[in-house]
Structure 1
Amino acid sequence: MNAKPGRPRTLTVDQIIDSVLAEGLDSFSMPSIAARLGVVHSGLYRYVTDREDLVVQVMDRIARTAPWPGVDLPWREHLEQLGEMFWTICGQHPGYDLTALRSRNVSPGFLEMVTPHIESLQREGLDVVDATAAIEFVRTLVLTSSIEAERLRSIESRADVPDHAIPGFADPEKWTGRGWYRRHLGTWLDGLAQRVGALQPSVAERTSA
């Protein structure tokens, strides 16, 4: 008598996401995740459409579990704290920076979590476009700075690297910690402060109307 084939292993999307985070967001493949979980490659497609769908679901979980700051902060501190949160995510999830920049889609979780922060910045005097652009600027600055920091760690002691020949790049802040990021962010926030100041009278006029 022929033996009955075994039942396929039961998975959950959460288990698949756990495996992606364990392997690395920027380096995983569908076959490598299947091997990690001990299932056939095709079995994953019962739970996700393709790799991009899986990336969106992983990013969704990250967004929903991230340490978002409170929404009652002054606008400048609010943006600074959002930047620190994105740095925390990059540190907790290697490959997040590259994946977030490359992903073609935004997760529903990110949209849900970021909306109250956009609304908070509006209450502080920014219109909806400026509020959204401000958060996107800080997020992108963190992502690109995180990628650059990884590159700098590998060449910091090499005097032959062209970066060292640029006078401003000799600043130790560029080569250590988040100093260069904070310098860029501070310069941009100073400019935004002037824009907010110019917008606030019109906001007050609309409120009193």
Structure 2
Amino acid sequence: MGTGRTAGKKTGPKPSFTRDDVIDAALDAGIADFTLAEVATKIGVVTSAVYRRFDSRDDLLDACLSRVASAVALPRPGMSWQEICRLWADECWRICGVFPGLVQVVYSYPAAFTRIGSVAAAYADALAAHGRTVGQAGFALDFIGDTVFSCRLGVEAMRSVDESGESGLERAKERTDASHPIQPEDSWADRGFVDLKVDFIIDGLERNWPAL
């Protein structure tokens, strides 16, 4: 007897999914290198279905970065400008751990910074309450952010493991001559000199803010 089904075809309603489902899948796949095909597979649809929610991969990447921005902690009332700057540094470091691959996107996707407008504005407003101009606030946030992200990029390289199971730090130690003035340390696979560099920047700003 017939079953009423067409051989080889699935019956029932098409699977439904939301924009958040697509974003979740992209972040799970890795914000730096997800593909729309991979995202579609994770949510159980064909690749073309993803275009019902997003126009392109860049459109989806922008949405992922907006999600990242929403996870950034904002300055609290009563914080000193130094505390605000340190919080910014801590948050830049933290979100890279929460969203693997983020630091690569920061340096490879030119529009990445456009997704943090509200976050940057909140930090700029907090610094403005201490007499800083928009230009000065932007300078400080950019200087500290660049410092933290570049350090994070180096740390992730040191943490990476090759096919033999050797880490980047181990390879660096093996290839560094004893006479070299810079000797790889275990801290290079952690925060390393991040906090020291941030403190150095803040110390400089305490002495002189650029006229911006």
Structure 1 residues 133 and 166, CA gap change in structure 2 (3 angstroms): farther
Out of 141, 163, 168, the position equivalent to 1:155 is 168
SS of residue in 2 equivalent to 1:60: helix
**Aligned residue type for 1:186:** D
% of aligned pairs identical? 25
Kept in 2: contact 1:52–1:103 (CA 8 A): no
Which residue in the other structure is 1:26 paired with? 32
Which residue in the other structure is 2:83 paired with? 77
Aligned equivalents of 2:117 and 2:195: distance in 1?
26
Deviation at 1:6, TM superposition (A): 5.0
Structure 1 residues 149 and 107, CA gap change in structure 2 (3 angstroms): closer
Which residue in the other structure is 2:139 paired with? 133
Q: After the TM superposition, which residues 52-91 of structure 1 pair with which residues of structure 2 at under 5 Å, given as runs?
A: 52-91=58-97
Kept in 1: contact 2:66–2:116 (CA 8 A): yes
Which residue in the other structure is 1:179 paired with? 192
Deviation at 1:48, TM superposition (A): 0.6
More helix by share: 1
Q: How many residues are aligned here?
A: 197
**Aligned residue type for 1:67:** A
Aligned equivalents of 2:188 and 2:115: distance in 1?
34
Aligned equivalents of 1:64 and 1:130: distance in 2?
24
Q: Over residues 99-132 of structure 1, what are the superposed CA-to-partner deviations in whole Å (9 max), with x where a residue is unaligned?
A: 1222232477621122121011122232211101
Unaligned 5+ segments in structure 2 are 160-166
Deviation at 1:19, TM superposition (A): 0.6
- RMSD over aligned CA atoms reads 2.6
Which residue in the other structure is 1:117 paired with? 123
Structure 1 residues 69 and 171, CA gap change in structure 2 (3 angstroms): farther
Aligned equivalents of 2:34 and 2:69: distance in 1?
19
Kept in 2: contact 1:155–1:161 (CA 8 A): no
Aligned equivalents of 1:189 and 1:177: distance in 2?
21
Aligned equivalents of 1:163 and 1:21: distance in 2?
40
Q: Over residues 142-170 of structure 1, what are the superposed CA-to-partner deviations in whole Å (9 max), with x where a residue is unaligned?
A: 22111100112323234333497642x32
Which residue in the other structure is 1:146 paired with? 152
Which residue in the other structure is 2:205 paired with? 192
SS of residue in 1 equivalent to 2:51: helix
